[in-house]
Copies of this chain bind each other. A is one copy, B any other.
Amino acid sequence: MSLTKPATLSDVALMAGVSESAVSRTFTPGASVAPATRARVVQAAASLGYRPNAIARTLTTRRSRIIGVVVSYLQNQFYPVVIEKLSQTLQRHGYHVLLFVSDGHETGATVDDQLMDVMQYQVDGLVLASVTLSSAIAKGCRAAGVPVVLFNRTAPIEGVHSVASDNHAGGCLAAQALIQAGCKRIAYLAGLEDASTQIEREQGFKDTLHEAGIEVFARAVGHYSYERACAATRDLFSRATIPDGIFAANDHMALAVMDTLRNELGLQVPQNISVVGFDNVPQSAWLAYGLTTIEQDAQAMVTSTVEVLMQAIEADSTTAIFEARKVVAPVRLISRSTVAG
Q: What is A's interface to B at a CB cutoff of 8 Å?
A: 29-30, 53, 56-57, 59-61, 65-66, 69, 74-75, 77, 79-81, 83-84, 87-88, 91, 93-101, 103, 117, 121, 226, 230, 255-256, 258-260, 262-264, 282-283, 286-289
Closest chain B CB from A49 CB (angstroms): 20
- Enumerate the 5 nearest inter-chain pairs by beta-carbon distance, A residue then B residue, closest first: A29-B94, A259-B287, A263-B287, A87-B101, A56-B60
Cβ-defined contact, A97 with B96, below 8 A: no
Assuming A30-B94, A100-B91, A260-B287, is B282 touching A75 (CB within 8 A)? yes
The docked-state distance in angstroms from the alpha carbon of A226 to that of B284 is: 13
Assuming A74-B83, A258-B288, A282-B75, is B103 touching A66 (CB within 8 A)? no
Cβ-defined contact, A99 with B97, below 8 A: yes
Of B56, B84, B95, B264, which one neighbours A287 at CB under 8 angstroms? Answer: B264
Q: Give A60's nearest chain B residue, CB to CB.
A: B56
Closest chain B CB from A63 CB (angstroms): 10
Hey, which chain B residues are within 8 Å of A97, CB to CB?
A: 98-99
Cβ-defined contact, A255 with B286, below 8 A: yes
Cβ-defined contact, A259 with B288, below 8 A: yes
Q: Give A118's nearest chain B residue, CB to CB.
A: B96
The docked-state distance in angstroms from the alpha carbon of A230 to that of B286 is: 10
Give the copy number.
2
Cβ-defined contact, B83 with A101, below 8 A: yes
Hey, which chain B residues are within 8 Å of A101, CB to CB?
A: 83-84, 87-88, 91
Of B74, B81, B283, which one neighbours A81 at CB under 8 angstroms? Answer: B74
Assuming A96-B99, A255-B286, is B66 touching A121 (CB within 8 A)? yes
The docked-state distance in angstroms from the alpha carbon of A33 to that of B259 is: 53
Hey, which chain B residues are within 8 Å of A56, CB to CB?
A: 60-61
The docked-state distance in angstroms from the alpha carbon of A325 to that of B117 is: 31
Closest chain B CB from A298 CB (angstroms): 12
Closest chain B CB from A292 CB (angstroms): 16
The docked-state distance in angstroms from the alpha carbon of A230 to that of B101 is: 33
Closest chain B CB from A72 CB (angstroms): 9
Hey, which chain B residues are within 8 Å of A69, CB to CB?
A: 99
Cβ-defined contact, B288 with A263, below 8 A: yes
Hey, which chain B residues are within 8 Å of A264, CB to CB?
A: 287
Hey, which chain B residues are within 8 Å of A259, CB to CB?
A: 286-288
Hey, which chain B residues are within 8 Å of A30, CB to CB?
A: 93-94
Assuming A57-B60, A259-B287, A287-B260, is B100 touching A98 (CB within 8 A)? no
Hey, which chain B residues are within 8 Å of A66, CB to CB?
A: 98, 121
The docked-state distance in angstroms from the alpha carbon of A103 to that of B97 is: 16
The docked-state distance in angstroms from the alpha carbon of A149 to that of B339 is: 48
